[in-house]
Amino acid sequence: MGTAARLTLAAGVLGLALSITNQLTAPELSPALERAAVLASLLAVGLMLVAILWTRAMPEAPGRVALEGEQGLELNGELPDDLRQELAWGSQMLLTATPAASVLLHWRGRTLLRRGVLAADGTVFTPGAICRRACSTAAAIGLVNLTLYPGRDEFRGLPEGVPAVIVQPLGADGVLLLAGWSPRCFSRSDEAWLEGWARKLRTALEPIGALPHPQAAGGES
């Protein structure tokens, strides 16, 4: 509950308590006093309802998870220069313009890009059932709270403990993963931005065949 909602709720509770106390301590209950007490109680209850509705309409954002791992960039060194520049620019935009903590691009059996908070060294990403379903349906899958999904082990290529992931398919040949800092952190505009960039990437990646695993390309995201 936000500060404004807490203050409104406190004012309502205090007003109701004062109204009841005033009635209990009055030497006699006149009709005017009773009408005033009813009106004051209604106003106090109204303030409490406003506080509750305010909280539901504007819930607090989930807390940011402290992810283990270093910030970095891993980019396949065999990619064409123009594609490397596109991947570097697009991944940086995702990390700065959305609540993303990490970006991973997997294409035709190879992880071509990892950026942001990196998983532990030696961790290899292997698409599982969730990624295959996204590719087969040609639709993104948003996992708003990854701890609730039994198939979360397929995202080991992402930092340990990521709370939210968007699986964006690149046709049937790859996926673009966006990991968030907190549960339910991605908006529809974030999803639309990711989908648009994925379409552009798919066109650029179509001529790319099998490539070696990505090489470290820097230490900052």
Q: Scanning the structure block, which residue is given the tokens 């990490």?
A: 102
The pLDDT assigned to 89 comes to 94
| 199: in domain | yes
Number of domains in the chain: 2
Residues 165, 211: one domain?
yes
Residues 38, 105: one domain?
no
Q: Report the predicted TM-score, pTM, of the whole model to 2 decimal places.
A: 0.69
Residues 182, 108: one domain?
yes
Length of the chain: 221
The pLDDT assigned to 1 comes to 55
What's the CA gap between 125 and 110, in Å, rounded?
9
Q: Is the pLDDT of residue 165 over 80?
A: yes
The pLDDT assigned to 221 comes to 43
- Domain residues for the domain of 89 are 71-218
Residue 35 burial class via C-beta count within 10 angstroms: exposed 0-12, middle 13-18, buried 19 and up: exposed
| 64: in domain | no
| 22: in domain | yes
Residues 43, 105: one domain?
no
HSE, CB side, 13 Å, CA atoms: give it for residue 2. 14
**pLDDT tens digit sequence for 104-152:** 999 999 999 999 999 887 788 999 999 999 999 999 999 988 877 777 7
| 36: in domain | yes
CATH number at residue 197: 3.30.450.40
| 98: in domain | yes
DSSP H or E stretch at residue 109: none
The pLDDT assigned to 152 comes to 78
